[in-house]
Chain A
Amino acid sequence: MDTTFTRLDGAQRRLSVYWLTIAFFAVVIAFGDGFWVTSVQGAVGAIERNDPPFDRWLRDSTLMLPLFFLAVLAAIVLGRRWFGGSRSRLLKFGATALLMVLFTSALAITEVAASSAYDYRLQSRDLASVHAFHQTIADTAPGATTTTGRCVGICAEKQLTLHSHMKALRIASVVLLLSNIVLVLWVMALRSDRIWRSNQVPARAPSEAAVGRGVTGAVLS
């Protein structure tokens, strides 16, 4: 255990971040975004995944937590590297917040897309069985013209289903972006003094440079 903590502490120093702050960001954003991911699934998802949404939210958000942790970490580290030298506090914090919003939103949108793709796969499979007794395309209305060559029946329903998912994804993307802006700014307001660790400029500079080059191991030794 001691070794683990020592390593974590070492990594924290190297990256000049507060784990607690990153964890706070990650938890808030993962569970906040998870709410929308679950909601989208409830709106357009497959019936096979019709389990209680609260349980699904807890499960999926928890599973996604490590990825959100990494996204937040990346945003903070890159924010420091790219904008740490700026004299403008607004630029430093604003750019880091923007990075965080972009990274976490991209991750959440990917999650929605993956969830929708899985739903679409399930739904496409089910449509065939549904068609067996819910549709009457074979029973053409008296006098109706044949519609050969067109995407009708299952084809059309799949298309419609796909369009629903695409539309839901577009809406979810906007909602996720907006909600992440609010969440990031909120956490930032609470933890702005705990985002970057102190920077003993002369001593830390090589370390930062090393991290930037991706040669962490060399610096550790």
Chain B
Amino acid sequence: MNETSIEQTENETSRLDEPTKVTQLPRRMFLKLGAVGAAAVAVGTTSSLIVPELRRKGLLSANGVFDASSQALAALVYTEVFPTSPLILNPFSDPFVKPKAASPVPYSMWSNDWKYKPGPGIGQQNSYGDTGDPTDNNTHQRWKGYDTDPDIPLVYQIKAEVDTHSFTTSLVLPIDKNGRPTKSFDASGKVYPAGTKRKLPDSTIYGFNGGGDHATFPGPMINAEYGRPVIVRFENHLDENVQQLDVQDFGAPDRSLLIHLHNGHTAPESDGNPHWSMTKGPHHHGFRTKDWVDQLYLNWPAGSDDLEKQSFFWFHDHRMDHTGSNVYKGMVGLYPIYDPKEDLSVGPGGLDMGDENQGYRLPGVRTNNLDGSFDVEYDVPFALADFRLDDGVTMHQDIHDTQGEFPGPNGLDTPRTHPEWWGKTFYKHFPSHGFVGDIFTVNGVAYPVMEVKRRKYRFRFLDASVSRIYELKLMSSSTPPKAARDLGFTGDDLQGQYRLPNGQQCMQFLQIATDGGLIPTPFLRDSFELWPAKRREFIVDFSKYQDGTTPDLWDEIYLTNVMKMPTGRMWTNSSRSIPDPAYKVPMVKFVITGDADDNSLVPTKLRDLPFVRQDWQTLMNQRSIFEVERGALGGEIEWLINGDQFNPFEVATSLRNPARKTPLAQQKMGSNNLWEIRNGGGGWVHPFHLHMEEHRTMMRNGKIQPPADSGHPDDISKEDLVALDPGESTIIYRQFRDFVGPYVAHCHNLAHEDHAMMFGWEIIP
């Protein structure tokens, strides 16, 4: 009997059927049509609601759908609760802090008084000295760069110390995630009722002290010059804590540190990377308390090629597994580098020596100090960092609670909440997405005000945040900033605390440099993205608005962040994806206070790019391939490269390349190669940083550059960090010159780096 006849029989006789045939078919048809219709509606809804979201996150693929689902589940499994920082009631009242140049240690002092003098001898590079084991590498690999180098470098002494830092002098109003006033606490256990305005307690920092009274955040700024080597003696005094400060539950638990000059052309022993420190030198994650290390920065361009010169470094902690917490805790310093070399085809005097009357005539008025340092007026660094302050009731759920690393007062249990830390910095070591704060600071101050003259300035931007990416615009507004909570925002929309509801772009940035230094042709930008660890330099002309009019005295202009990034995964809104016209967070207020002479010029041509071998495409088949992706291993190992966690004792292996080989990440000194860096998906962005020399992005997503990808206009320059959108792939050209030894490459979302998204590579003789 075939199916039809069975059905007929069934329809006639089955007890399952309805009594009359008249209604039977229509109802079944109705059910079927309903089911098909429901499926169609589900597909349609999915297409209209979910597909755009998946596309935006780079998850619109067969694997991407699973990744998106896994992410959603992971968010439910791993509880991630963050406090809402108290509202700063008087923003834009604290003055902007421009760090002054640090002073070097007088030669007479270190050469006479220091027990362990800096020098090129065996075992002179760090406190471990001559161990008799040549592989320990406690000696400077190279003492001189240029033939013209002075034999004696400038010596700086920087002590890492436990100290305090204040983000604001303003009163604050404790608020909850809905923006409503809430209770607060103090160190003695006293509870303050909701609505009580409070003064913020100072936060505890692990900061750098460059010779002053105390450590600061950010730490000292070393104004360096090419051709003038610098030794920085980093000393670890984090065990001293003379003020008996509560160091809270983040920062390397053993208080070791490892300092990386990002991205100086330095030998491995001075580079501060864990592939070196675990295999040589301290044979540990970093330098322990009471240790010191002399990091020699030759201020020497790669391959002695002037075109490789850079312009803005920063130094920060790189201690394995705790870089994020150590940086967040304050171990950040600035290192602009100038170029005094003359090129008469450009003009008389040093090309870029902080003097607007010489060379490229970039904004800057230089003052040479008696101690050998110099300061440059109108040349201003902006170190951006976001923080969260403890509300006293949010759980400190963290995998490190299980390690016994931060015991509570009774020495046994790690307390889950810390009312005694109310108002101090809050950190979560293991957020699934990364860590973003809700208070935005510049040079350690929340919402500062900077007085400017009607003239050109050189602004050097650095993103020193753990995970946050910014997109910055210059805006003016007919009304002052308003607290986000007063505009009805709640939850993640409170991040940044303030909004500029009527903000309109009023000026443009003239970009003159990226991570890799001055670019060949400056170009105007309405806004720019700043990813973690990236640097961007601009000329901002406060003598005229973009419509050509002249600002009046006391006009106010705001540096405004327009990129909404509620988690460390990626932005939800930005100019190049889905703009949110309501998200305009003012970070710095500029006030026009007068006029000043301005001898600087608007440059049309700066430094050419270094040579790339013409036949670089012949290297394509032999390229090394590294894919960054998300993994899982109960917490510590969350992020992988080529499917592996970071192993500091090994050099990584490439994925199989088109030549069907899996080469080691090992390059001969003097060689060059193509490396492919892929974002393995999952809807995350990754700022991927490669130590040592700058690279050039030759291809992005299969397209040869230039022209640069519209989302990454900085691809036209040399850089030390590849900005990878979800699912993107880049092919970069790298050179390996001047030094041998172990280096690393890693994601600079520090939550990713600390959870194994890093690999070791090396240069061999």
Contacts and interface: CB of A to CB of B under 8 A. Distances in A.
Contacts of A194: 3, 7
Interface in A143-190: 144-147, 150-153, 156-161, 164, 167-168, 171-172, 186-187, 189-190
A39 B66 contact: yes
A134 B16 contact: no
A47 B402 contact: no
Contact of A198 (B9, B254, B756): B9
A164 B78 contact: yes
Contacts of A210: none
A43 B634 contact: no
Contacts of A110: none
B49 interface: no
B634 A152 contact: no
A123 B78 CA distance: 17
B404 A44 contact: no
A40 interface: yes
Contacts of A52: 63
A136 B254 contact: yes
Contact of B6 (A54, A146, A197, A201): A197
A154 B650 CA distance: 23
Nearest to A58: B62
Interface in B354-413: 399, 402-407, 411-412
Contacts of A41: 70
Contacts of A74: none
Interface in A38-57: 38-47, 50, 52-54, 57
Interface string B232-259: 0000000100000000000011111000
A139 interface: yes
Residue among A151, A187, A198, A201 with max Cβ neighbours from chain B (10 Å)? A198
Contacts of B640: 47, 50
Interface size class of A (residues with CB under 8 A): 35 or more
Nearest to B635: A160
A133 to B, nearest CB: 6
Nearest to B79: A167
B567 interface: no
Given A141-B255, A198-B9, A198-B10, A157 B634 contact: yes
B634 A123 contact: yes
A203 B14 CA distance: 13
B711 interface: no
- Main SS of the interface on chain A? helix
Interface stretch (B29-37, B488-496, B528-536, B715-723): B29-37
Given A140-B254, A186-B35, A189-B32, A145 B77 contact: no
Contacts of B72: 39
Interface string B59-74: 0001100110111111
A130 interface: yes
Interface in A12-54: 18, 35-36, 38-47, 50, 52-54
Contacts of B648: 133
Given A44-B632, A47-B643, A89-B16, A171 B73 contact: yes
Given A47-B645, A50-B631, A137-B405, 16 more contacts: A39-B69, A42-B70, A47-B637, A47-B640, A57-B66, A126-B637, A133-B647, A134-B636, A134-B637, A145-B407, A147-B404, A186-B39, A189-B35, A192-B28, A193-B28, A199-B15
B554 interface: no
A42 B67 contact: yes
Contact of A200 (B13, B288, B405, B631): B13
A158 B333 CA distance: 38
A142 B289 CA distance: 9
Chain A to chain B: the 6 pairs with minimum beta-carbon distance, closest first: A42-B70, A145-B411, A161-B634, A156-B402, A53-B66, A139-B254
B77 A171 contact: yes
A89 B15 CA distance: 9
Contact of A53 (B63, B284, B406, B635): B63
Interface string A110-141: 00000000000001001100100111110111
Nearest to A195: B16
A81 interface: no
Interface in B635-674: 635-637, 640, 643-645, 647-649
Contacts of B402: 151-152, 156-157, 159-160
B38 interface: yes
Nearest to A42: B70
Contact of A157 (B278, B288, B407, B636): B636
A190 B37 CA distance: 11
